Amino acid sequence: MSTVLAINGGQKARTKPFPARKPYGEEEIKLVTEAINSQNLFRWGGKKVSEFEKRFCELYGMQYSVASTSGSSAIHLAVAAINPNPGDEIITAPVTDMGTILGILMQNAIPVFADVDPENYIMDPKSIESKITKRTKAILVVHLFGNPADMDAIMSISKKHNVPVIEDSCQAYMTYYKDKLVGTIGDIGCFSMQQSKHATAGDGGITITNNEKYFDHMQLFMDKGWARKGYGVRAYHFLGVNYRMNELTGAVAVAQLDKVETVVKSRRAIGDGITQLIKDVKGVQALKVYPGGKPSYWLYGLKSLNHPAETFAKALTAEGVSAGAGYIGKPIYICSEAMHSKATYGTSHCPFDCQHTDAKIEYKEGLCPVCEKELDNLVCIGINEDYSQNDGKDIATAIQKVAENL
């Protein structure tokens, strides 16, 4: 292997393109055609969305599920089911997409951010517990990149303080923590079907629970609060939204459930293989997996120990392995003006200046110091289920080349 980096004029470690992902096929076409031929693409009266919900429950061993329009809506349903009062607080992750946070703010609750474990960027249970106050309504844990959080510790905190746990499993299909699938360990689990996810319908979401009260609330909330049976022509029980999944999305979602275990098995083999190959490479460190965890590798993440992630990622990309730095760049509370500048509802700053809250939270640098420091070291590499083991070896070879010669 050449020691001259491609970014400095050397030969690339990988010269041919990696396989493009092709998640859809004949089964999706068949089920979508069935939906169209039914002449009803509305979820009520259709069959595909309800079949998706039923089969998802079977796959995850859960009693109830509610399909919706996106992963963001799936999380919003969960927050709505917890039913916070204005000004209540929900503890969550600083390294995540805005979709994790939207439902909190839309319910006029306040996001509170726990710092991260520096070895995997996942919420640190000690930091979670330190952020609990009399206003804490829930813990919203994020299984980042399909790497399971330390759920034993988090559920212990939940039990101790009597605070429910919502699992954002949008990047974590068929991900195991010990012998349990993430999304089934807390009180409510949330999943996304956005284009990049392990199971995808372009967009879409689903929320699961064993709590009948939460289920009833989520099903109503998804449909504008409309109780369609037993209350006359129209009865809207509370303020809800329209997050109904349509039958075309439901058809694709059903087909995807037949594939998702194979998809994750392939990604896990590739990701675990890269980790094994770079374990002795100096200057890089694969993200820590808690004991008993089985990641699903929505992205493959690693830490650059000797160089800024941006420098490392540029060199790795030049080697033919596309890479990014820092995932979201800055913690989500800095990325989002809805928090950083409190740009929420009109000219108000609700819920932050709501009369119902006594919290004085400022979203600025220093809020999660470990996260802010360590994001500068995070390198993200895209992989997919169509990669071969040789593709994984080429990624590991490129990582080693950059680590040793940058």
Same domain, 79 and 156: yes
Local mean pLDDT, 10-residue blocks, the chain (406 residues): 89 96 98 98 97 98 98 98 96 98 97 98 98 97 98 98 98 97 98 98 98 98 92 87 98 98 98 98 97 97 97 98 96 94 92 82 94 97 97 98 96
pLDDT given for residue 360 in this prediction? 79
Tell me if 348 is assigned to some domain: no
Same domain, 232 and 283: no
Same domain, 193 and 264: no
Q: How many CA atoms lie within 13 A of 183 on its CB side?
A: 33
What is the C-alpha R_g of the chain?
22
Q: State the residue range of the domain holding 322.
A: 6-11+260-328+372-405
pLDDT given for residue 11 in this prediction? 95
Write down how long the chain is: 406
Same domain, 143 and 273: no
Tell me if 364 is assigned to some domain: no
Same domain, 264 and 250: no
Q: Which of 259, 279, 308 is the last residue of a domain?
A: 259
Q: Is 329 left (phi over 0), alpha (psi -120 to 50) or beta?
A: left
Same domain, 380 and 243: no
Tell me if 335 is assigned to some domain: no
pLDDT given for residue 358 in this prediction? 76
Q: Which of 211, 239, 259 is the last residue of a domain?
A: 259
Q: Which of 232, 259, 286 is the last residue of a domain?
A: 259
Crossing angle of helices 389-405 and 260-278, in 10° steps, is 30
Other C-beta atoms closer than 10 Å to the C-beta of 130 total 11
pLDDT given for residue 97 in this prediction? 96
CATH classification of the domain holding 295: 3.90.1150.10
Same domain, 219 and 288: no
Q: Is the model's pTM score more than 0.95?
A: yes
Same domain, 225 and 120: yes
Same domain, 253 and 270: no
Residue environment code for 26-57, b if the CB has 16+ CB neighbours within 10 A, otherwise e: eebeebbeebeeeeebebeebbbbbbbbeebb
Listed in sequence order, the DSSP H helices in 162-259 are 212-222, 247-257
Give the total number of structural domains in the chain. Answer: 2
Tell me if 21 is assigned to some domain: no
pLDDT given for residue 1 in this prediction? 62
CATH classification of the domain holding 137: 3.40.640.10
